[in-house]
Chain A
Amino acid sequence: MSIKGKAYIAGIYEHPTRKADDKTLAQLHAEVAKGALEDAGLTKADVDGYFCAGDAPGRGVLSMADYLGLKLSHYDGTDSGGSSYIVHVGHAAEAIAAGKCKVALITLAGRPRAEGMATGTAPRNVTGDTPEGSFEFPYGPATANMYAMCAMRHMYEFGTTSEQLAWIKVAASHHAQWNEHAMLRDVVTVEEVVNSPMIADPLHRLDCCVISDGGGAIIVVAREIAKSLKRPLVKLVGAGEAPKGQMGGKIDLTYSGAVWSGPAAFAEAGVKPSDMKYVSIYDSFTITVLMQLEDLGFCEKGKGGRLVADGNLISGTGKLPFNTDGGGLCNNHPANRGGLTKVLEAVRQLRGEAHPKVQVKHCDLALAHGTGGLLGSRHGSATVIMERE
């Protein structure tokens, strides 16, 4: 059974806050849910499927379904870090295709900034009660250095340069200047990126995403419901997911799980990378984008540096417009989880509702891809492909 053409994204919402001192975590989930339902033209009573991940408070789905007052026939609390919500879109389509629900709500929210988390530079989940814990946390695996080791190896194997990585941030900043909600709206240069302070070699401060509060929600619905609504039709045509770990010590940091999730999604959709008019690519760090683009097949392995350089990712002038909301590098990264917002901007592009300065012309086929967890140890990869009908 395929999900192709069985489900549509009917509603989206991105919380405008970037620092939520005055709101609780559960409240943010409720506000984004309400926003996405209003966008779709649906009500809470229509929701019969609910999806959330590790950012949700309490006991995940159970706490949130109760808090939100949902009556459900299907729920899914899959957590694979920031990629969870792209996984959820695929799972929602599967559930709809199988007749388990008709209106699926996916929510994400977080307030790491209000809580003062040292998100990228302090080790998280320091515990010995996981199989790998004692073999890792004494060594200080934070977020930044676990992506940095991938960048270091990529540079060693393929000659990738800091300047090439910097182009990814430069492109994101060109887009963010048009987004009134973006945290960082100043256009930056390659020189500014490579001269920003070193965080974890070889990643500089401007190679890293922002820390932000906020959240977002997505409504995935069955075909007959999508047709009954007044929104543009954004059809799901392919999805793939795959985890990648340390493979028992046969560690290879040069590729991500996108080498599996990407081909699965493309095969289901019956399209290829060069067909994509727009891509949303998880940008926790610049290296994340470069590796994922290679692994999804937008260029040969090792040639990502050339692909992203010289403004090639900038909408309007580049060949492969990406993250036209400014992405995690400039716009937001709610709950330190960037997968959901990747889907939102892809839907805006397909609807023709992106900012006019970054809207891709005739955008009828788009991809959203995310990496969750730590690229250098264990991560989940998820890909969805959407088509404007």
Chain B
Amino acid sequence: MVTLAKDRKLPAPTPNLETQQYWDGAAAGKLMVKFCLDCKQPHHYPRALCPHCFSDRTEWRAVSGKGKIYSYSVMRRAPVPYAIAYVTLDEGVTMMTNIVACDFDALRIGQPVTVVFQPSDGGPPVPMFKPV
């Protein structure tokens, strides 16, 4: 079977003091990830203090936007079916997302994907991924 993804209305994220740069990046077409200058590890979702080592020396970096599907599930029982997923970025951090512009029935774990930015309902665009 082939089940093509359709656009659905996305509730708007609400940027705050810790996350404004993430959403500003998204608006500029960049996927931003927080890295720790002390333990050198990335984390997601972004925080002021590193959740791995509790250092307050964290910085934003624009990343490649490339990664692989870690897991996914197509919600069939929804007004517009959608594919929720966790994608592991090439930089080593895993984030919740949706897989779009795809055939839901052809998705698989390990599939290479790349970031796209989808408009939200009155807020900044939201990073999602499509198969490469």
Contacts and interface: CB of A to CB of B under 8 A. Distances in A.
B44 A248 contact: yes
Contacts of B52: 248
A201 to B, nearest CB: 5
Closest 5 CB pairs of A and B: A128-B14, A134-B13, A148-B73, A249-B93, A248-B51
Interface in A122-141: 122, 126, 128-129, 131-141
Nearest to A157: B109
- Interface centre among A139, A152, A249, A251, by most B CB within 10 Å? A249
A150 interface: yes
Nearest to B88: A251
A142 interface: yes
Contacts of A246: 44-45, 94
Interface of A: 121-122, 126, 128-129, 131-142, 144-146, 148-153, 156, 197-203, 246-251, 253, 376-377
A199 B98 CA distance: 17
Contacts of A135: 13, 19, 44-45, 95-96
A89 to B, nearest CB: 30
Contacts of A136: 45, 96
B65 interface: no
Contact of B73 (A131, A133, A200, A251): A200
Contacts of A247: 51
Contact of A140 (B13, B18, B76, B98): B98
Given A140-B82, A201-B74, 15 more contacts: A126-B11, A128-B16, A132-B45, A138-B12, A145-B84, A151-B73, A152-B109, A153-B109, A197-B77, A198-B76, A200-B74, A201-B73, A248-B93, A249-B43, A250-B94
A121 B86 contact: no
Contact of B75 (A134, A144, A156, A377): A144
A134 B12 CA distance: 8
Contacts of A139: 84, 96-98, 126, 128
Interface string B61-103: 0000000001111111110001011101000011111100000
Contacts of B45: 131-132, 135-136, 246, 249
Contacts of A150: 71
B77 A251 contact: no
A253 B96 CA distance: 12
- Interface centre among B14, B84, B88, B95, by most A CB within 10 Å? B84
A201 B120 CA distance: 25
Contacts of A249: 42-45, 93-95
8 contacts: A122-B78, A126-B11, A129-B14, A134-B16, A138-B126, A248-B52, A249-B43, A249-B44
A120 B111 CA distance: 27
